[in-house]
Amino acid sequence: MISQNSLYLVPVPIGEKGETGTAIRSVISACPFFITEEIRTARRFIRSIDKEKNIDLCTFAEFNEHNCNKGTAEIEALFADFPVAVLMSEAGIPCVADPGWQVVRLAHKLNRRVIPLSGPSSVYMALMASGIQGQRFMFHGYIPVKREARLRYLRDMEQKIRTDMATQIFMETPYRNNALMEDLTNSCNPALMLSVSAGIESDLAFTATKSIGEWKKELPDLHKIPAVFVMGI
């Protein structure tokens, strides 16, 4: 059932309403080696999928923004011991807006079969729900924090909407979402469309799409709510 000499890329539900399909369940049940952003939450997710699995017999490697600069040497050594591995993000799909792609690069170098499984991504769920064109788009991840750099970045995205004819997708750390909405509505062209998807896969999930001029009249409260922003024409 499970493919040997392989790396499975496993999406994790984003909110409490997320579900996990049978392909992912069987991989998680069978796999002894997990590369994760955070071991504690990965163990909890595996437990929720398979109550019978002896997690204490599994091997875990943490790979995240804090230790990825040390490279993938530890994981390369562990690959030698484990013909099957799972790569998981904290939530959503691995390798988008996280450093997991370096583990995938290593797997290709070692001639492992890389097997992506489908699941939720806040980025594509926000894009599909935005009502803004998805034929051409650019994803930026987290945009700069410092004021000058951020305003320059917003101007650059506005320009890309015109010159590349590409929808722009970006995020902010949730406790700075309200400040980002203020910057967007104060500095971007009021005719641009801005879509906000917040609380994806949770009971409070919503997507609202308005012109920036409309948003400026009444700002939403997004404080500490994970959100993805989609901007275009």
Which positions lie near a copy of itself, rule CB under 8 A?
Answer: 9, 11, 17-19, 21-23, 93-102, 104-108, 113-116, 118-121, 123-141, 164, 166, 197, 200-201, 205-210
Minimum distance of a copy of itself from residue 45's CB (angstroms): 16
Minimal distance, residue 108 CB to a copy of itself, in Å: 4
Give the position of tokens 């920036």: 212
Compare residues 131 and 190 and give the one whose CB is closer to a copy of itself: 131
CB of 54 to a copy of itself, least distance (A): 27
Virtual CA dihedral for 76, 141, 66, 107, nearest 10 degrees?
0
| CB atoms near residue 226 (< 10 Å) | 21
Side-chain half-sphere CA neighbours of 52 within 13 A = 4
d(CA 185, CA 183): 6
Give the span between the Cα atoms of 116 and 111, in whole angstroms.
15
117 token code pair: 């499984």
Q: Which of 152, 157, 227 is nearest to 195 (CA)?
A: 227
